[in-house]
């Protein structure tokens, strides 16, 4: 594969992002308009790394799929990956872990959209070998990613870097002084 043909796989752990958004940021179930605009994630990755992005959106399904959501994902360029398994089995995590392992044999870059540390072991061999990134909420990213960041894993905040939300989220974060806008606090 030439550099002109290079692609970035964007692996989305939507359950983790939704759980963080609802449980830790909003303290309630997010309304549809408060959820990330997933098309912005693909566009951000394509523009930031200047190459095509292929989005894989992992879903746990115990039967019926949320067809409206699945159709929306397809329409914006994602390939839904609906998975089922035994009760208690973390099928989304298993699916993403297996995909990360399979990417070792592909000449492609990868961006993981999750805060979950369950992927550190599978992501680790990819870091340094190719471009790798993680998108999530900086303050909720599992601390076990830190050694990978030191080795070249790029980090992106879903709200502040990707601009995936229509309205600001009620997050408390450390603001670099060069980005501080006092008007936002008045």
Q: For 120-140, what is each residue's pLDDT tens digit?
A: 999 999 999 899 999 999 999
**Averaged pLDDT, 19-27:** 94
Q: Which residue shows structure tokens 């070249």?
A: 152
pLDDT at position 2: 53
Tell me how far apart the alpha carbons of residues 45 and 27 are, in angstroms, rounded to a whole number: 29
pLDDT at position 62: 82
**pLDDT range class, residue 3, cuts 50, 70, 90:** low
pLDDT at position 23: 94
Closest residue by Cα to residue 94 from 136, 60, 70, 139: 60
Mean pLDDT of the chain: 93
Q: Are 16 and 116 in contact (CB under 8 A)?
A: yes
Enclosing H/E stretch for 38:
helix 38-49
Residues 6+ apart with CB under 8 A from 143: 117
User: What pTM value is reported for the model?
Assistant: 0.92
Name the 3-class secondary structure at 137. coil
pLDDT tens digits, residue range 84-118? 999 889 999 999 999 999 999 999 999 999 999 99
pLDDT tens digits, residue range 50-83? 999 999 999 998 878 889 999 999 999 999 999 9
> Domains plus CATH for the chain?
3-185 (3.40.50.1010)
């Amino acid at each position: 594969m030439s550099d002109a043909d290079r692609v970035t796989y964007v692996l989305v752990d939507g359950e983790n992002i939704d759980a963080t958004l609802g449980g830790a940021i909003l303290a309630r179930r997010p309304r549809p308009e408060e959820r990330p605009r997933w098309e912005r994630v693909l566009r951000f990755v394509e523009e930031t790394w200047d190459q095509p992005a292929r989005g894989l959106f992992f879903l746990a399904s115990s039967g019926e799929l949320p067809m409206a959501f699945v159709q929306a994902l397809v329409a914006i360029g994602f390939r839904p990956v609906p998975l089922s398994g035994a009760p208690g089995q973390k099928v989304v995590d298993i699916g993403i872990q297996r995909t990360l392992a399979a990417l070792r044999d592909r000449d492609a870059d990868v961006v993981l959209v999750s805060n979950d540390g369950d992927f550190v072991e599978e992501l680790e061999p990819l870091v340094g070998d190719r471009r790798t990134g993680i998108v999530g909420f900086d303050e909720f990213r599992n601390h076990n990613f830190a050694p990978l960041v030191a080795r070249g894993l790029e980090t992106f905040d879903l709200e502040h870097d990707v601009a995936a939300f229509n309205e600001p989220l009620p997050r408390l974060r450390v603001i670099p002084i060069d980005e501080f806008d006092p008007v936002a606090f008045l």
